Chains A and B, each alone.
Chain A
């Protein structure tokens, strides 16, 4: 990419990033989210269970969608690297540190690129995973990495700007590399097993999965105490 794309991708560096709430047009805060730059004591939010937040529309909405996914993955790896399960080997922890670095870079890249259009920082609830054992951590990582691959594969065609398609592609294959290694750690040789890469003798044999934003957000929502809506995203 050159300076032309720079102006598009990194348009208007934020002086102060808009908060998730302002973008979403929401009036009530939620305990699931922490406002960037606010200390925890600043707010005593009233939780509104039915509150729904949106990611925006068009390419910006899709970039926020990717940003949310990368927030999810980075938060997961941050947590694992900070408090790894005791039965994880040093080599595996080294892999997870690499994965953490990659996902944090992806997250910060989107945040930087979105500037004032970026959603705020989401807080995730990983209660549905067992993060105290190696097996639990690997199972969780496999779920998240496969979700990421399918999400980027499904979003590629929705971007209007080819620059964004290019960026999504650059990240998608890295997520696929992650997924393959994690799967090898879970079960040797499951790197492209039939649950992700079609292998039923049909037309799409040898092809990975793609998921729509609505399908992906439905899964992401299970890790949030609020509800994100994919309604504004292209489909």
Chain B
């Protein structure tokens, strides 16, 4: 029995077999150890057990293309949001878009245009990375950013007419983007270049989220980030980072999930969990307790770490902005 030949055959139909087997290095280490310690006759049985375990654990786990396509869907959503609200980069703004743009100071408007351009660039990057595997851009009428899902306008009815509402939705989308990339990263570990690219998008989403939050805190017409402090109602006057569960978000019924818990899907490795953003426990240790001598508030411990979110929860959040019946997300 030539185990390496078998793995090679499996690799032809499942290029990620080595990742399912933990890693290329460990499987070969494991196998060479078997050869020494087990009788030859027992090797096939042991090998079968390894394969069963590998595939049983990860039979549903998303592959690299799955993760990238999911990220692409989110970027389509984000890009559509800014393009619909502010107008496309080289397009002519409609009357409604012009009116919304007039609600921001020139500096803040430039920031939003920059963010729009970044999101459009993310779409282009992911489409290039995926090549022919990239899912198509959805039709413009796929989205309903009022949160009404295509029916009666939802909680964000003024999303494209009131700057404050626009920024609230933007914050929810950007914070979701940060958590979504964080949740997807472990599944990209088999491809180092793709993982690094995803991390480089991830931190840009965090820069966006921070800027939007600063803007919300200071007001759409106020450029001075230094002249304001976070209010007691953080759903309306947030810090530049996620503090606690941020008052449930700008519309708690619709956006609480953005800052809340995620439930790990069956395929998720046991080492990955999805606590809410108010979490103060890292690596299984309650840091507020373990580091109590620092005398920092619980908020500081939650702020110091952004949490990941699993795909199903991110999908639920995204569906808030997709018309009923659409199969896009």
Contact surface of A with B, Cβ cutoff 8 Å: 1-6, 9-10, 89, 91-92, 94-95, 98, 101-102, 104-106, 108-109, 112-113, 149, 152-154, 156-157, 160, 162-163, 165-167, 169-181, 184-185, 188-189, 191-192, 196-197, 199, 203-210
Given the interface pairs A104-B294, A191-B111, the reply to whether A109 lies near B200 with Cβ below 8 Å is no
- Which label, helix, strand, loop or mixed, suits the secondary structure of the B interface? helix
Alpha-carbon separation in the docked complex, A207 to B117 (Å): 11
Residue positions of B touching A, CB distance < 8 A: 23, 107, 110-111, 114-115, 117-122, 124-125, 128, 178, 181-182, 185-186, 189, 192-193, 195-197, 199-211, 214, 223-229, 239-241, 269-273, 282-285, 287, 290-291, 294, 296, 300-301, 303-308
Contact B206 A176, beta carbon cutoff 8 Å = yes
A180 to B207, CA, bound (A): 5
A112 and B119 alpha carbons, distance in the complex (Å): 38
Which residues of chain A are within 8 angstroms of B117 by Cβ–Cβ distance? 199, 206
Instruction: Please determine whether A112 and B203 come into contact, CB atoms closer than 8 angstroms.
Output: no
Name A177's contact: one of B110, B227, B241 (CB within 8 Å): B241
B271 touches A4 (CB 8 A): yes
Q: A163 to B285, alpha carbons, bound, how many Å?
A: 14
User: Beyond A2-B284, A166-B272, is A174–B185 a contact (Cβ under 8 Å)?
Assistant: no
- Whether B118 pairs with A98 at a CB distance below 8 angstroms is no
Task: Known A174-B305, A192-B211; judge A162-B228 contact (CB<8 A).
Answer: no
Q: Which residues of A contact B303 (CB under 8 A)?
A: 98, 101-102, 174
> A102, B304: Cβ atoms under 8 Å?
yes
The answer to whether B122 touches A165 (Cβ under 8 A) is no
Contact of B203 among A3, A153, A157, A167 (CB under 8 A): A153
Contacts of B300 in A (CB 8 A): 98, 101-102, 105
Q: What residues of B have a CB within 8 angstroms of the CB of A189 in the complex?
A: 107, 110-111, 114
**Cβ–Cβ contact A101 & B304, under 8 A:** yes
Measured CB to CB, the closest approach of chain B to A142, in angstroms, equals 12
Question: Please, which residue of chain A has its CB at the minimum distance from the CB of B195?
Answer: A157
- Chain B residues contacting A192 (CB-CB under 8 Å) are 114-115, 118, 204, 207-208, 211
What is the chain A residue whose CB lies nearest that of B186?
A162
Q: Is the CB of B200 within 8 A of A105?
A: no
**Most B CB within 10 A of own CB, among A172, A197, A207:** A207
Residues of B within 8 A of A167 (CB): 282-283
Q: How far is the CB of A21 from chain B (nearest CB, A)?
A: 25
- B197 to chain A: closest residue by CB: A207
**Given known A153-B196, A192-B204, contact A94–B283 (CB-CB < 8 A):** no
* Bound Cα distance A173, B200 (Å): 10
State in angstroms the CA–CA spacing of A102 and B283 once bound together.
17
Shortest CB-to-CB span from B163 to chain A, Å, is: 16
Excluding A6-B285, A91-B226, A98-B241, 17 further A-B contacts by CB distance (< 8 Å) are A6-B284, A89-B226, A104-B294, A105-B294, A153-B200, A166-B186, A167-B283, A171-B304, A178-B241, A188-B111, A189-B110, A189-B114, A191-B207, A192-B207, A197-B207, A206-B125, A206-B201
**B206 lies within 8 A of A173 (CB):** yes
Write the nearest CB–CB distance from A109 to chain B, whole angstroms: 6
Chain A residues whose C-beta falls within 8 Å of the C-beta of B195 in the assembled complex: 156-157
Kindly list chain B residues whose C-beta atoms are within 8 Å of the C-beta of A1.
271-273, 282-284
In the complex, the answer to whether B282 meets A177 with C-beta atoms within 8 Å is: no
B227 and A162 contacting across the interface, CB-CB below 8 Å = no
Query: Is B111's CB under 8 angstroms from A162's CB?
Result: no
B199 touches A169 (CB 8 A): yes
B185 proximity list for chain A (CB < 8 A): 156, 165-166, 169
B186 engages A10 (CB within 8 Å): no
